[in-house]
Amino acid sequence: MVAALGFATIACFLALAFSRRVSVLVALILVPVAFAIVGGWAPDLGEMVGDGLLKVAPVAIMIAFAVLYFSLMVDVGLFDPAIRRIVRWAGGNPTKIAVGTAVLTLLVALDGDGTSTFLITISALLPIYQKLGMRPVVLTGIVCLAAGLMNMIPWGGPTVRAMAALDLTSADIFTPVLPAMGAGILWVLFAAYMIGRTERKRLGVTELASPGGGGPGTPHVSDAPVRTGRQRAVMAFNTVLTLVLIVILLFQLVPLEVAFAIAFALALAVNRPKWDDQQALFAKHGGNVTMVVAMILAAGVLTGILNGTGMITAMAQTFVSWIPQSAGSLIPVITAVTSMPLSLVFTPDAYYFGVVPVLAETTASFGGDPAEIGRAAILGQMTTGFPLSPLTAATFILIGLSKVDLGKHQRFIFGWAFGTTIVMTVVALLTGAISL
């Protein structure tokens, strides 16, 4: 009964998200509340929702300051030099822009944190897409593919959880799938090229205006503006502050919400010292902050109720019971192939700490290697799937910053993301990382 209510909750939410009958924010809150009431958990709703909100609160706080920080950096032109170089290199060619998006995301995602990856890449690349008239969903899709793949690194969420759940090391889980990850990188670049080629057919190659010229609607790439001594000093400060912030993100030196709060306060004081200018910044970007933070808090309601009612645990147990005894030797392959779609249903904690240990134990009972389950799981679950999942806050950061509808984003890139998992699974089979 509990598992059935859980699956019904997720199915109803996904159906509403895909159909766009109601906003995602409304569905995130009202759907789980309704099913919790149906299941008889009404008296405990307050505690469950409160727990869910508390868990996502640090992320919401961090995002509020992070969005404001990078919005300020975009406003003051911190990314303009990079934008000019990329646009000049691409020559107005959407194919090159798409491939460049994948390469940049692969590099930025080395920090292992999807949130910071989305904040940096979307802030830097969205202006280019707007200049060329490329669809924002192309940006979210390619960033989704590249960031999802790089989430496999040992300090990324999925691999860390797999190692903890199975009491294994990165040598057991990550090292054997390195060839598969390499194949996944090639696939992502190929996907970006194909998606970019489609955009090129739609838009053509835009002739960029030379400095000082260009007709209406033509992207204009100007030379670097002439700045005063103070403006150069402020820009140098912004560059150093952003680099320091990225180092903090990479090495997790302090909690991210603390880092972004302090960084934004410093940046605001230096770049917008006047009260009126500060108020103008809040008025300009306050809407984006409100929407993204509200989405994250709404996701906390969903996950809080799913965890508090036990729906997540019951769904995990039911899923395991579906595997027949005769398919024991196929469990690693089944895990690899299904892990990506299941990221739309299970939170990473529920999957890695609820499903994976049971699958590993089942595999061991058939004489298999439990580590293969950990490797299979990271080929899709919360790697290629996490930037599509409505159960992860980072997804709403990605689509919120780009102003792309969740259902549209999922429909656009799901096939390519699932293809990434299939390619990596095939290579993992060929290299022995998982076996039949």
Instruction: Give 387-405 as a DSSP string.
Output: TT-TTSHHHHHHHHHHT--
Mean pLDDT of the chain: 82
pLDDT at residue 145, rounded to an integer:
92
Residue 215 burial (C-beta neighbours within 10 Å; 0-12, 13-18, 19+): exposed
pLDDT at residue 140, rounded to an integer:
93
Average pLDDT (380-390) is: 67
Q: How confident is the model at residue 366 (pLDDT cuts 50, 70, 90)?
A: confident
**Contact predicate 299/396, CB 8 Å:** yes
> Residue 225: in which H helix or E strand, if any?
none
Q: Give tens-digit pLDDT for 21-74.
A: 788 788 889 999 999 999 999 999 999 999 989 988 887 888 788 888 888 887
Percent of the chain with pLDDT over 90: 28
pLDDT at residue 276, rounded to an integer:
92
> Residue 292 pLDDT > 80, yes or no?
no
Q: How confident is the model at residue 118 (pLDDT cuts 50, 70, 90)?
A: confident
**Contact predicate 331/323, CB 8 Å:** yes
pLDDT at residue 313, rounded to an integer:
77
**CA-CA-CA-CA dihedral for 242, 101, 180, 347, to nearest 10:** 70
365 Cβ partners below 8 Å, 6+ apart?
328
Q: How confident is the model at residue 146 (pLDDT cuts 50, 70, 90)?
A: very high
Residue 344 burial (C-beta neighbours within 10 Å; 0-12, 13-18, 19+): middle
pLDDT at residue 383, rounded to an integer:
57
> Residue 262 pLDDT > 90, yes or no?
yes
> Residue 104 pLDDT > 50, yes or no?
yes
Amino acid identity of residue 160, one-letter, is V
Angle between helices 406-431 and 393-402 (to 10 degrees): 130
Q: How confident is the model at residue 220 (pLDDT cuts 50, 70, 90)?
A: very low
Q: Give tens-digit pLDDT for 310-327.
A: 887 787 677 677 767 667
More confident residue, 260 or 329: 260
> Residue 105 pLDDT > 90, yes or no?
no
More confident residue, 187 or 127: 187
Q: Out of 69-78, 84-93, 120-129, 181-190, which region has the weakest mean confidence (pLDDT)? A: 84-93
**CA-CA-CA-CA dihedral for 366, 371, 375, 380, to nearest 10:** 60
What's the CA angle centered on 84, arms 82 and 85, to 5 degrees? 65
